[in-house]
């Protein structure tokens, strides 16, 4: 049975009543509009922990574009139905006043992670992410927290949060779930028109192309081929396509510079912004 709680007091009481009888708690933070990617995180948590908590909270502090916040899908009843089939034990679904009862200041020094790629194109975004994730970690005190690889830069940012605050938990990065044609599953995909949806698959195609060229071209040459493919669609406006060290997101100029290399992309298709990434070496 899925318990649904909406206040911090209820959450604390629920967890205190159960904590002594279990060995581990898993947390899956989400903003709702759940798809198979989210559900795979919940399922994995349920397999690896005695108690799984999923949170749904559309966090206003991580949106630097008010229209993006307003457009973010909120199919709550559908999300609840999906969660009941995953092995999730508890859904925490607070409103904004419950998470932010009063004005507060928050700033973390995230270094280069906040100045490149998502940090560059969405200024302030990761301050909002770390602000709300720290609150969720404090409230739930999970043993493990699960995040999807699609938001890979976010995963590195949350790793920095855990390191700086010495939070005793394990972060788990789960593989990106893809549609049959390769498009990364995203809550934003519902905004794509049929024509835009058809072109959106070029994101993953560009990434897989780069990986296929890694043995015969330099990173710069492979990146250019990826950009060329994305540029073949008049509907796609590229924000970035980068090949980077997977641990630092610093640019890679030679494949042998790092043992783990990742390619990351962000584009706009019409009014919708999409991101994706793929390990080239892992």
38 as an active site residue: the answer is yes
Calpha distance 152→278 (Å, rounded): 9
Region of residue 159 (phi > 0: left; psi between -120 and 50: alpha; otherwise: beta): alpha
Tell me the residue length of the chain: 282
Q: Which of 35, 38, 245, 282 is catalytic?
A: 38
Calpha distance 25→53 (Å, rounded): 7
Calpha distance 247→201 (Å, rounded): 26
Question: Packing angle between helix 76-83 and helix 36-48, nearest 10 degrees?
Answer: 40
Chain-centre distance of CA 215, in angstroms? Answer: 29
Contact 25, 143 (CB under 8 A): yes
Calpha distance 125→104 (Å, rounded): 16
For the annotated catalytic residues, the residue numbers are 38
């Amino acid at each position: 049975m899925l318990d649904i709680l909406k206040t911090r007091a209820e959450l604390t009481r629920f967890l205190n009543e159960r904590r002594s009888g279990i060995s581990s708690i898993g947390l899956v933070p989400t903003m709702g509009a759940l798809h198979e990617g989210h559900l795979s995180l919940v399922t994995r948590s349920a397999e690896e922990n005695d108690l799984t908590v999923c949170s749904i909270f559309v966090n206003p502090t991580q949106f630097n574009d008010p229209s993006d916040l307003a457009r973010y899908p909120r199919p709550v009843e559908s999300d609840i139905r999906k969660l009941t089939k995953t092995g999730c034990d508890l859904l925490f679904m607070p409103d904004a006043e419950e998470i932010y009862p009063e004005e507060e200041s928050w700033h973390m020094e995230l270094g280069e992670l906040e100045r490149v790629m998502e940090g560059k194109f969405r200024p302030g975004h990761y301050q909002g992410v770390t602000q709300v994730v720290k609150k969720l970690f404090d409230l739930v005190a999970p043993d493990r927290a699960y995040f999807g690889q699609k938001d890979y830069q976010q995963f590195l940012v949350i790793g920095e949060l855990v390191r700086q605050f010495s939070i005793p938990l394990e972060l788990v990065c789960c593989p990106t779930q893809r549609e049959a044609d390769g498009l990364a599953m995203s809550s934003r995909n519902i905004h794509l028109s049929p024509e835009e949806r058809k072109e959106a698959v070029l994101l993953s195609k560009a990434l897989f192309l780069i990986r296929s060229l890694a043995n015969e071209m330099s990173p710069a040459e492979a990146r250019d081929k990826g950009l060329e493919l994305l540029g073949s669609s008049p509907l796609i406006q590229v924000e970035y396509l980068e090949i980077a060290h997977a641990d630092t997101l610093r640019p890679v100029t030679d494949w042998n510079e790092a043992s783990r290399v990742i390619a990351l992309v962000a584009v706009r298709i019409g009014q919708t912004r999409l991101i994706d990434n793929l390990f080239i070496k892992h």
